[in-house]
Structure 1
């Protein structure tokens, strides 16, 4: 079960697995619990649910329904793209940061 809870700026709750947080980012989500016994309090984030929905797709493994692929950012509006890129950099999410840099170039 997902063991870390985040709440977006527009009050949407996201539950994420700490093991994937630890694999996908180095410092951005340091509040991930270190063992099964710890239950962390929900963490409020400054980003909207729309941005976090995309960011968290780079953290949790892609399901079969997406053919094991990360989300495409090619179709995002420029405003949403830059919000996602900023969040990816802020939270040091490797996959999202790399894809954002490729699109900017």
Structure 2
């Protein structure tokens, strides 16, 4: 038996993400996931704060110097925004699941 090469069928390709116009629900869903990842990173900073407080005043001073720097303030501000956005979006999902919206 001889095997012939498989023939390619001419099937249409499904459109990629660049074809679709972004909708509000998809953008909010992506932002919700991104803030969840950001909050996970922020929890590492929180753990650093707890460990620094447990180790002693020297380690705590190092953390406070970082938190007081412009980069640290920006990270803490971004963490706060991400937390409240994620919280509000979670409440919105609870309303959707309960059938109120």
Short-chain TM bin: under 0.3
**Bigger Cα Rg:** 2
More strand by share: 1
TM-score by length of 1: 0.24
